[in-house]
């Protein structure tokens, strides 16, 4: 995972045996927990078990905004209801956003690279061609919404119409010049 140098982050957890990495990104005073997963093709269910235990052990505040992604080597086009993945998705209200094959060979097309989001974030993603000797598409994700800076907030004037001075307002409007003839066509 590449994190731009302008984004503060901290390492939350690593699990070398199961190849899990948890990073907390600070995006405009909002924290996003990123969990990266690599599950080898020949792995048993222990990687998903470690993932589920790690997610369950997080304090609630840490798991509120969660981005879970990686090479799960579980083909969602053949087995969309993997019991362990379904359990993780349900517990953490995750939504899988990759719907097209991420690994294509001459004999198969599979969705084995997954991206799950816990918030209804505005996101765009793009599958890019494999890089170097990889046979997996790269996934470029752009997240907005709670992580974007709010636009400048303008102060507004609150008018209390019951105590309004309509005579003065009418005098001000009467002295304004306005050529609205071009708008009447």
Decide if 178 is inside a domain.
no
pLDDT tens for each residue of 64-101 = 688 899 999 889 887 665 788 888 888 888 988 888 88
Question: Is residue 53, in this structure, part of any structural domain at all?
Answer: yes
Which pair of tokens denotes residue 44?
């048993």
Indicate the pTM of the whole model.
0.69
CATH number of the domain to which 127 belongs = 3.60.10.10
Q: What is the pLDDT of residues 6-60, one digit of tens each?
A: 888 888 888 777 788 899 888 777 788 889 999 888 888 888 888 888 888 887 7
The DSSP string of 52-95 is: HHHHHHS-GGGGSSEEEEEE----TTT-TT-HHHHHHHHHTT-E
In a domain, 165, yes or no: no
What is the extent of the structural domain holding 97? 9-143
Residue 23 inside a domain? The answer is yes
Tens of pLDDT along 102-145?
Answer: 888 888 888 888 999 887 666 767 777 777 778 888 877 777 65
Measured CA to CA in angstroms, residue 112 lies from 55, 126, 137, 167, 184 at distances of 21, 15, 10, 71, 61
Instruction: For residue 70, tell me if it sits in a domain.
Output: yes
Distance CA 67, CA 64 (A): 10
Would you say residue 157 has pLDDT above 70?
Answer: no
Total structural domains within the chain: 1
How far does CA 27 lie from the centroid of its chain? 11
The number of C-alpha atoms within 13 Å of 44 and in the hemisphere containing its C-beta is 1
């Amino acid at each position: 995972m590449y994190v731009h140098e302008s984004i503060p982050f901290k390492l939350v957890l690593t699990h070398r045996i199961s190849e899990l990495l948890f990073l907390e990104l600070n995006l405009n005073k909002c924290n996003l927990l990123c969990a990266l997963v690599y599950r080898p093709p020949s792995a048993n269910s222990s990687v998903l078990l470690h993932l589920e235990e790690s997610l369950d052990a997080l304090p609630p505040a840490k798991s509120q905004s969660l981005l879970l992604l990686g090479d799960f080597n579980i083909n969602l086009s053949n087995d969309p209801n993997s019991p362990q993945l379904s359990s993780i998705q349900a517990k953490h209200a995750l939504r899988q956003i990759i719907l097209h094959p991420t690994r294509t060979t001459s004999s198969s097309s599979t969705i084995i690279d997954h991206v799950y989001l816990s918030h209804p974030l505005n996101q765009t993603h793009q599958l890019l061609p494999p890089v170097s000797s990889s046979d997996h598409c790269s996934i470029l994700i752009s997240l907005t919404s709670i992580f974007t800076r709010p636009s400048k907030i303008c102060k507004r004037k609150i008018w209390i119409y019951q105590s309004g001075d309509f005579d003065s307002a009418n005098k001000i409007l009467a002295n304004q010049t306005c050529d609205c003839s071009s708008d009447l066509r």
